[in-house]
Every structure is written in structure tokens, then in C-alpha cells.
A = this chain, B = another copy of it.
Amino acid sequence: MSERDTATETIDLETRLTQDHHQSLKLWLRMLSTTVMIENEIRNRLRAEFDTTLPRFDLMAQLERHPDGLRMGELSKRMMVTGGNITGITDQLEQEGLVMRVSDKQDRRAYSVKLTAAGRKTFKTMASVHEAWVAELLAGLDPEQKNQMISMLSSVKSDLSAGSKHNENE
């Protein structure tokens, strides 16, 4: 153990807590501002290039990953928004012929939402351009750094999900 480590362990708990708090705050502010900047950029480009919005794009992306369709409730969970919003976005996309509601044969209250052929085609175009934008905006990191960030963000996320269970006790 080096002298420096010994010195580090000498500082009292309160000081270490304060330092950790400051560091966490700094990280959070940087996460937030970076994400907002990228999000705004992508939002503007989606509007300008494809006349669409982030939630609409997101819903189609969910469906593309699930060719058998997703029920409204599943979309709601995955997109982290309440049901009414899913109805609204689905209505728009259905009107434009990009998605369709297919009634569930087992449960007549439920639908599966699927991409139409036109929706798949439209989404494919948008997705490849979108992916290139994201790669461009994250070009400041090399592949190794990206892997590191992906895994670090995972531990933050899993912590958050664990935390929400904790709230049930309140």
C-alpha cells in the first residue's frame, strides 16, 4: 500500500462522503447535459429529415425488434410512458399506414401492434440514418471506451430498478 493510499484512508468519513457527493453530482450534471444535447440534435434531425418525432421513432423501433407484434401494455412498459400516450402515437402511425392493430384471438380486449410492410420499409431507412447520426455524435469515444460506458451504465440501471422495489416500503 503506498503512502498516498494511507493518506486517502486517513481522511474522515464525512469528508469522503462529501467528496463522493460532489463527484456524483458532477457526473450527473455531465450525463444530463450530454444526453440533452444529443437528444435535441436527434430530435431536430428526425423532424427535418423524416418529419417524425422521437416517441414515434421509438415505438417503431420497439416493433421492429418484435415482428410478432407487441400489445399496447407492453409498449407502454418498454417506452416508460402511460397507456394513453401509446394509444395516441399508435393512432397517428396507423393513420399513416405504418403500423396496424391486429386483434388478439385469445383476448378480445387486446391488440397486437405490428409494423406494416410500408412501416418496415420506412423504418429501415430511418433507422440506418439514425444509427449513423448516433455513431457520428459519439465519435469522441473509441470502441473500448464505449464498451466501458455500456457496462457502467448497466450497473447504474440495475441499481435503479432495485431501488424502486425499496420504495414499496414507504
Residues of A within 8 A of B (CB): 19-28, 30-41, 80, 131-132, 134-141, 143, 145-150, 152-160, 163
B140→A155 contact, CB < 8 A: yes
| Pairwise interchain contact A145-B152, C-beta atoms closer than 8 A | yes
B155→A152 contact, CB < 8 A:
no
22 A-B pairs whose Cβ atoms sit less than 8 Å apart in the complex: A20-B143, A21-B134, A25-B134, A27-B141, A27-B146, A27-B149, A28-B137, A30-B153, A30-B154, A30-B157, A31-B34, A31-B35, A31-B153, A32-B39, A33-B80, A34-B153, A34-B156, A41-B160, A139-B159, A140-B159, A141-B152, A148-B148
Chain B residue contacts of A39, Cβ below 8 A: 32
The answer, among B21, B143, B152, B157, for a CB contact under 8 Å with A135, is: B21
Q: For the complex, would chain A's binding face be called helix, strand, loop or mixed by DSSP majority?
A: helix
**With a CB–CB cut-off of 8 A, which chain B residues contact A30?**
149-150, 153-154, 157
A137 touches B159 (CB 8 A): yes
Which residues of the partner chain B approach A21 to less than 8 Å between Cβ atoms?
131-132, 134-135
Q: Shortest CB–CB separation between residue A7 and chain B, in angstroms?
A: 15
Which residues does chain B contribute within 8 Å of A155, judged by CB atoms?
140-141
Asked if B35 and A32 make an inter-chain contact with CB atoms under 8 angstroms apart, the answer reads: yes
A100 to chain B, nearest CB (A): 25
CB of A23 within 8 A of CB of B143, answer yes
Q: Kindly provide the distance from the CB of A54 to the nearest chain B CB, expressed in whole angstroms.
A: 9
